[in-house]
Structure 1
Amino acid sequence: MVRFSAVADRRLRGLTRWAQPPQLTVAAFGALVLVGAVLLSLPSAVDGGERASFPTALFTAASAASVTGLVVVDTAAYWSAFGEVVVLALIQVGGFGIMALATVLTLVVGRQMGLRMALRTGSETKVVTLGEVRQVVTGILAVTVVFETVLAVVLTLRWWLGYGLSFGEAVHTGTFHAISAFNNAGFSLYSDSMTGFATDPWITVPIALAVVAGGLGFPMWVELWRFTRHRGEHRHWSVHAKITLAMTGVLLVVAFVAFLALEWANPATMGGLGLRGKLLTAFFQAVMPRTAGFNSLDFGAMNTQTLLVTDILMFVGGGSAGTAGGIKVTTFAVLAFVVYANVRGEPTVHMAGRRLSEGTASQATTVVLLALGLVLAATLTLMTVTPFTLDQVLFETTSAFGTVGLSTGITGDLPLVGELVIVFLMFVGRIGPITLASALALRRRVRVYELPQERPIVG
């Protein structure tokens, strides 16, 4: 038997402790942002040959890699063809990479929980194998390629045949927006995003459907695939799938009704549109806070009530292990059922025909409270260093944390400190909920003793 020296053994243990899934996720994502910032700092990345300042390159790289969509410069006018390719690559790698990492982390956490249960019951459990990881990554790649290809073809044909773009320009524009839409990035080659196509269903509807598809998450697509293959009594949905589908549907309906009701008579948004235009723009904007960042209406001209509703939608986000951000619809649903169970005085929490496992409620509460604290702290900071109103700043910080990309138009006017705050929010908002939830699940410990119980006054 080969024995390690004491120093080598300590180094190995230290490396093993550092190289955990959450730490690796942070390191990989940070490296992606830095590489993107360096590439965007090259003179060839800017239209005209001038070198972009590093803060501008860093902000754009962080926004693209985190699939957010907030920009401090006009994407189409400022960046060269090479710069646009770098942005597109960051979106693709960021969306695909985080989706793959999140799915693998979910698999690791699930097996870790299974191992603990097996140790208690004396049964056996499997570990996550390299073959399973390869299968997950291959599946995510296949789903990504299919959706992006179909959307790129539809958009290319529309811009080529309907708007007179040359075939090459239409392919470039369609491919860019297809990748941006499925990855929920919100980057656009048009300065006003989708405002010029607000009443064109051949552009807005496919983009909206791609945003929903990417925001559902890969685990949801696996469920759908299995559901179509099984027949009869073998068809069943997991709790995750039931929650994701139900909450997605509910939030889309609520958002659609809210946008329609609050902006119906606003002359600066949808007030001058006909019934068909109002329905189409309300649907498109109801989808975008999931978190895409495209807009067919000017958010800077929207009512305060609409901005607040959008804040809530952006904070919640989309499905787990997908391209959407936010705290995720499953986390929101868990907290809602926890409140419902406590109001009814029930000792355990039941949802979708199952009892929640131990620790799920506390993990969800931790994620939400930390996210809320981060957004509020960032909002206070920006209000201190900028002249903007609370509505504008809260919208910006929530959009950054939720990796949405919607803005009231203040992003380009932020000072350097404000830009760095937004970069931090986008970075944490993209990987924070994933790494925090997995770290909480993987770091559960058993106390060797308990202190005497006492209940403080609550409320």
Structure 2
Amino acid sequence: MSLRTGPDPRAGAGRRRTGTTGNPVLRARTVPARIRSALREFSEHSPSRFAILVFGGLIVLFTVLFSLPISSAEGRVTNFVDSLFTAVSVICVTGLSTVDMATHWSPFGHALIYIGVNIGALGVLTLASILGLVISRRLGLRAKLIAASDTNPLRMHHGPVAEGQAVRLGEIGGLLVTVAVSALVIEVGLALLLFPRMLADGIPPLTAAWESLYYSAMAFTNTGFSPNAEGLAPFANDYFFLSVLMIGVFLGSIGFPVIYTFTRSIKARRRRDRAGKPARWSVHVKLTLVTSLLLFVVGAVLYLVLEFDNPGSFGSLNAGDTVFQSFFLSMMTRSGGFSTFDISQLNGSSLLVTDMLMFIGGGSASTAGGIKVTTLAVLFLAAFAEARGVQDMEAFGRRIPSDVLRLAVSVVLWGATTVAVSTVVVLQITKAPLDYVLFDVISAFATSGLSTGLTASASEPAQVVIAITMFMGRVGTVTLAAALAASERRQLFKRPEERPIVG
């Protein structure tokens, strides 16, 4: 064994590494990496909080942009409450407003609205997942779980998920691509249908091109803003135009997992597998489609019966027009936000029906709001199972586990509590009639966008409460569901059982 008396080369290497680390220039270069690492760690450990942070940051950004003079048609600074309310309504794809959206904003302001609704339509956790992908530069397991929990909060379980999923975990990357591509394709397709119709009505080509894109985005995102001051009044009798809007609202409200399933089914039909069997639709897809169509028809029938003799709505229309307008209103109430007449003219019974339809909303992971149609379907399946004396909930030959029911009950209670508290506060501030306050509060929570006119005429404190309700409705239900699913833990003991009296 030989002994070295000279300097140890490893020590020099260590000194070189230490010197490099101590270099302030090189250390400054690592600041973005440190920020990226911190954001990645936060998004992985607290996906629900990260989602709220993302949406909150977008609202702050758009509030600042809407307050700029360049965003106003008059070149003036828009006051804080109007800018904040518009930013929340745009990012949460609600459609309520405190200003005339068509005349108050400049072309730059309308461009912000167009961009904002398309960003907000992606979904809370989906948007957080995409941002996490940008930050971490890869789609890891936790990022997939964040995105998957937007399609189904049960994905946030620490253990295996005990049900068939609309989208498998390994397909989340394909789902994110489908979200972006389907939004683009559907909106462009709707615009191509609307553009020649607008040209036929004498609208200049450039204006027709912009308004067709605007209307297509507002239909697919279920927002309901109109680019012209007259709203839908010029197209109230144009059933082709209104039908295109209905198609856009329906495609946006069924949810991206359902659209993804449609694309897989089309591909499977083009290239059948070796056994020649087509792709099977999940229970989620079937429940979404069946419940949505059932609510669409039931809503139309109710409006037809309740409004056929109301001069403020359908009273002056013939039978065919009344039927079509009933279906149009039924489609718009569950989140579309468009209307061909003044909603405040509806009968009280129709306002109550609209409240219920808005509260239900559209499909999970869609551009629509509300408690979601599958939540309602699960509750009814549980009630039917109890009435038959059957222990398990079943649908389409599949058993639905009890944890899905607990999650559905939690979402409904969260929504009902939010609506109740907001209604009481707004009632106390405005002293307005209960049916009008309840209507606008539910519209805000369910991101429907229909209004009796209360929101625009209310005081600023009431408008702030409604803005908070919009945020809670868009962010609260899905993040609450994800948090509840993620917080489930195993308990190694059971307490003595005792049954309280129910009913």
Kindly report which structure 2 residues correspond to 1:350-365, keeping only aligned pairs within 5 A, or say none.
350-365=394-409
1:456 and 2:495 correspond: no
Contact map agreement 1:69 1:185 (CA 8 A) in 2? yes
Alignment correspondent of 1:138: 177
Alignment gaps of 5+ in structure 2: 1-36, 128-145, 163-167
| Cα distance in structure 2, aligned partners of 1:361 and 1:224 | 26
Alignment correspondent of 1:191: 229
Cα deviation digits, residues 50-82 of structure 1 (max 9, x gap)? 110011000001001100000111011111111
| Cα distance in structure 2, aligned partners of 1:222 and 1:89 | 23
After TM superposition, the structure 1 stretch with the greater mean CA deviation from structure 2, 60-69 or 407-416, is 407-416
How far 1:133 moved relative to its partner?
4.4
The one-letter code of the counterpart of 2:429 is: V
Alignment correspondent of 1:297: 341
Kindly report which structure 2 residues correspond to 1:48-197, keeping only aligned pairs within 5 A, or say none.
48-98=74-124, 100-101=126-127, 103-106=147-150, 113=157, 116-117=159-160, 132-162=171-201, 164-197=202-235
Structure 2 residue aligned with 1:206, among 218, 236, 244?
244
Alignment correspondent of 1:4: none
After TM superposition, the structure 1 stretch with the greater mean CA deviation from structure 2, 134-143 or 418-427, is 134-143
1:372 and 2:424 correspond: no
Alignment correspondent of 2:130: none
Gap change, CA 1:296 and 1:99, over 3 Å in 2: farther
| Cα distance in structure 1, aligned partners of 2:486 and 2:447 | 25
After TM superposition, the structure 1 stretch with the greater mean CA deviation from structure 2, 280-289 or 93-102, is 93-102
Gap change, CA 1:192 and 1:454, over 3 Å in 2: farther
| Cα distance in structure 2, aligned partners of 1:195 and 1:105 | 40
Contact map agreement 1:311 1:399 (CA 8 A) in 2? yes
- Secondary structure of 1:78's counterpart equals coil
Contact map agreement 2:220 2:248 (CA 8 A) in 1? yes
| Cα distance in structure 1, aligned partners of 2:371 and 2:75 | 40
Cα deviation digits, residues 138-195 of structure 1 (max 9, x gap)? 1111111111001112222111222x11101111111111111100011112335323
After TM superposition, the structure 1 stretch with the greater mean CA deviation from structure 2, 284-293 or 188-197, is 188-197
1:39 and 2:65 correspond: yes
- Secondary structure of 1:236's counterpart equals coil
Contact map agreement 2:149 2:155 (CA 8 A) in 1? no
Alignment correspondent of 1:253: 297
| Cα distance in structure 2, aligned partners of 1:92 and 1:13 | 24
After TM superposition, the structure 1 stretch with the greater mean CA deviation from structure 2, 100-109 or 177-186, is 100-109
- Secondary structure of 2:417's counterpart equals helix
Alignment correspondent of 1:339: 383
| Cα distance in structure 1, aligned partners of 2:421 and 2:88 | 20
| Cα distance in structure 1, aligned partners of 2:92 and 2:155 | 27
- Secondary structure of 1:67's counterpart equals coil
After TM superposition, the structure 1 stretch with the greater mean CA deviation from structure 2, 60-69 or 434-443, is 434-443
After TM superposition, the structure 1 stretch with the greater mean CA deviation from structure 2, 337-346 or 197-206, is 337-346
Alignment correspondent of 1:386: 430
Gap change, CA 1:194 and 1:19, over 3 Å in 2: farther
Contact map agreement 1:199 1:280 (CA 8 A) in 2? no
- Percent identity (aligned): 36
How far 1:436 moved relative to its partner?
1.4
Contact map agreement 1:198 1:281 (CA 8 A) in 2? no
How far 1:348 moved relative to its partner?
1.9
How far 1:98 moved relative to its partner?
3.7
Contact map agreement 1:281 1:297 (CA 8 A) in 2? no
How far 1:107 moved relative to its partner?
6.2
Cα deviation digits, residues 411-449 of structure 1 (max 9, x gap)? 111111111111111111111121111221122111132
**Superposition CA RMSD, Å:** 2.4
1:21 and 2:55 correspond: no
Alignment correspondent of 2:446: 402
| Cα distance in structure 1, aligned partners of 2:232 and 2:39 | 52
Alignment gaps of 5+ in structure 1: 1-10, 121-126
How far 1:262 moved relative to its partner?
1.0
Normalized against structure 1, the TM-score is what?
0.90
- Secondary structure of 2:98's counterpart equals coil
The one-letter code of the counterpart of 2:74 is: G
Alignment correspondent of 1:422: 466
How far 1:97 moved relative to its partner?
4.5
1:219 and 2:257 correspond: yes
Gap change, CA 1:258 and 1:103, over 3 Å in 2: farther
After TM superposition, the structure 1 stretch with the greater mean CA deviation from structure 2, 196-205 or 370-379, is 196-205
The one-letter code of the counterpart of 1:116 is: G
Alignment correspondent of 2:26: none
How far 1:197 moved relative to its partner?
1.6
* Structure whose CA Rg is larger: 2
The one-letter code of the counterpart of 1:41 is: S
How far 1:380 moved relative to its partner?
1.0
Alignment correspondent of 1:3: none
Alignment correspondent of 1:279: 323
- Secondary structure of 1:199's counterpart equals coil
The one-letter code of the counterpart of 1:78 is: H
- Secondary structure of 1:355's counterpart equals strand
How far 1:136 moved relative to its partner?
2.1
Cα deviation digits, residues 198-238 of structure 1 (max 9, x gap)? 21112110001100001011111122222332456434221
| Cα distance in structure 1, aligned partners of 2:265 and 2:125 | 21
Gap change, CA 1:107 and 1:299, over 3 Å in 2: closer
How far 1:106 moved relative to its partner?
4.2
- Secondary structure of 1:73's counterpart equals coil
Contact map agreement 1:293 1:404 (CA 8 A) in 2? yes
Contact map agreement 2:148 2:155 (CA 8 A) in 1? no
- Secondary structure of 1:359's counterpart equals helix
